[in-house]
Chain A
Amino acid sequence: MFTIFGVPSAALFGQLLIGLINGSFYALLSLGLAVIFGMLNIINFAHGAQYMLGALTAYLLLQVVGIGYWPALIVAPIIVGVFGMFIERFFLQWLYKLDHLYGLLLTFGLALIIEGICRHYFGTAGLPYGLPDSLQGGRNLGFMFLPNYRAWVIVASLTVCLSTWFLIERTRIGAYLRAATENPTLVRAFGINVPRMITLTYGFGAALAAFAGVMAAPIYNVSPNMGSELIIVVFAVVVIGGMGSILGAIVTGFALGVVEGLTKVFFPEASATVIFVIMAIVLLVRPAGLFGRRT
């Protein structure tokens, strides 16, 4: 056991790990927000609710149907993704010609509805969701104890984030998507079904949020409130990183998680506010955000 800046190394690395975990949720959620915003020009306030729905679906799958963690990791995002597509078809598609603000207000309303219904049926106390058997325990790395599940969360979310980046920046579908973001009319003229692409994009964004939710379920308890506070932090992350760049969203998410973790070690009182403070500083120094373009 040694100390760094007067802090025991185990505590430091422990908080760093928690920071990375939080960072992977920030990254997944801000990535989804950025993808949705790019295509729909809507800031999806319901993103937090969709994250919570992911966790809750995993919980219900286990309790009601008996489907465990691993299948839930696939099934829950699909369910929430399909639900997202319905939301896009029934509500969001009427707003594309209006001011962006209406999209924010509508999704805020949807978030209230989803959260209210879940609170009514599941209460506000957290529901426990056990660790999957295969990821119980952990290993001693010499300088710290690394729980297997937490290592898995970091690896899995990094993989998903980078796959998303690859999908959008390096494949043909991604090229269509980027083209449709720039000029939907022209892309439609080439015979590509843009409205369907928009629907799928929103579903994909919602599924990403749900995926993060399933992974969060064993770490935090499953609670109807888990999304709404997180989403505001993610908004700050998005302001810091700017929504112009996919890779930017991923890097900013992880980095801010780590900074938050370190703040918990050295200055615990500020750990809840540090991301917002960084946002304020970034706005002063680089108003367009770290990876953003001035519009």
Chain B
Amino acid sequence: MERVVDPLVRQPSVWRQQSETIGFIVMVVALFIAPFVTYPLFLMQAMCFALFACAFNLLIGYVGLLSFGHALYFGWASYLAAYAAKAWGLPPELAILVGTLTATVLGAIAGSLAIRRQGIYFAMITLALAQMMYFVALRAKFTGGEDGIQAVPRGHLFGLINLRNEWSMYFFVLAIFLAGFLLIYRVIHSPFGEVLKAIRENETRAISLGYKTERYKLLAFVLSATLAGLAGSTKAILLGIASLTDVNWPMSGEVVLMSLVGGLGTMFGPVVGAFVILMLEYKLAFLGEWVLVIQGVIFVACVLLFRRGIIGEIASRLHIKL
């Protein structure tokens, strides 16, 4: 079909139409160059958190559901992946699969409970369920309690590639991050994603149009939990440790902060947010408890003055999608 072009309306340039593709290319190029410029370990960790934040953003940004307990999937997946790699001796790809599937199951259970209430209650329920599973992790034998699971071997990917090599590990993490990112991109731009956005804008109307919104919400929740689990499992294999920090409530708050700083409901916002917040934490680690205060200040400043976030602000200034 021929496109009708109204000569009086200025068409957005190709650059504007393809802004997301361009953004993606920039991101990939940057991630290929970055390990030559800064510490690969930091970058790998940041990519895990970026995937975690993207998964969280899938819910808040595109379905309008604020999950305040995403540490549950991140943390429990990292426990299971670490346990599978250490106690069962599974290769890294299978260990990550075990962790990820754990998050899927937990997401299905928690999600089916949480979607029974809307809005602010949804946030409180997800937070409470995550806290419950924190206590379970604290008491359970296999998690190692306060010590966590330490000295997890990285192993050989597919039995071939030794992941103790920093470069192999880097490209492995990069591949996982990009795969997760593209999956989310695909989901958001699919017909399913359009329904999710419709639910975000006006759930009652989506129901009246015949959509079973609860099923859509549950599926989005499970998907988000799964990807958060993928991020958590990868981080456990990367750092060789799974600990209580990853399943406790401050972690849930941190992923909210990353997405908020980068820009809720943007593709690249959570990635930028994760890198920014993680960098701040590294640089400011010497300040001790003040890091908590600074995080709080960023929260307050973002909510009051800067609700679009970094990427959201850029996108709205340039009138493009990012």
Q: Is A280 within 8 A of B129, CB to CB?
A: yes
State the main secondary structure of chain A at its contact with B: helix
Residues facing A in B304-321 (CB within 8 A) are 304, 307
For A115, give the chain B residue with the smallest CB separation. Answer: B292
**B117-175 contacts to A (CB < 8 Å):** 117-121, 123-125, 127-129, 131-132, 135-136, 138-139
Q: A110-B296, A112-B292 are in contact. Are A43 and B124 (CB under 8 A)?
A: yes
User: Contacts A113-B296, A232-B249 hold; do A94 and B123 have CB atoms under 8 A apart?
Assistant: no
User: How long is the Cα–Cα vector from A253 to B156 in the complex, in angstroms?
Assistant: 53
The answer to whether A272 has its CB under 8 Å from any CB of chain B is yes
Say whether B297 contacts A232, CB under 8 Å.
Answer: no
Report the minimum CB–CB distance from B137 to chain A (whole Å): 11
Please give me the residue from chain B that is nearest to A277 by CB atom.
B132
Taken together as a complex, chains A and B put the C-alpha atoms of A250 and B288 apart, in Å, by 39
Residue contact A109 to B297, C-beta cutoff 8 Å: yes
Contacts A108-B253, A239-B125; is A273 near B135 (CB within 8 Å)? yes
- Contact assessment for B292 and A105 in the assembled complex, using a CB-CB cutoff below 8 Å: no
Min Cβ gap A149→B in Å is: 28
Known: A43-B123, A100-B119, A105-B299. A232 touches B128 (CB 8 A): yes
Is residue A295 within 8 Å, beta carbon to beta carbon, of the partner chain? yes
Given the known interface contacts A109-B298, A276-B132, the answer about A120 and B289 at a Cβ–Cβ threshold of 8 Å is: yes
Kindly list chain B residues whose C-beta atoms are within 8 Å of the C-beta of A102. Answer: 303, 307
A-B contact count (CB 8 A): 122
Residues of B in contact, count (CB < 8 Å): 43
With A104-B123, A232-B127, A235-B127 as given contacts, are A287 and B116 in contact (CB-CB < 8 Å)?
yes
- CA distance in complex: A115, B295 (Å): 11
State whether the Cβ of B258 lies closer than 8 Å to any Cβ in chain A.
no
What is the CB-to-nearest-CB distance from B298 to chain A, in angstroms, rounded to a whole number? 7
B26 on interface, CB distance cutoff 8 Å: no
A116 contacts B by Cβ under 8 Å: yes
* Chain B residues proximal to chain A, CB less than 8 Å: 60, 66, 68, 113-114, 116-121, 123-125, 127-129, 131-132, 135-136, 138-139, 249, 253, 256, 260, 288-293, 295-300, 302-304, 307
Q: What are 5 A-B pairs with beta-carbon distances under 8 A? A: A91-B300, A101-B60, A104-B123, A110-B300, A235-B128
Chain A interfacial positions (CB closer than 8 Å to B): 37, 43, 91, 94-95, 98, 100-102, 104-106, 108-117, 119-120, 228-229, 232-233, 235-236, 238-239, 269, 272-273, 276-277, 279-280, 283-284, 287-288, 295
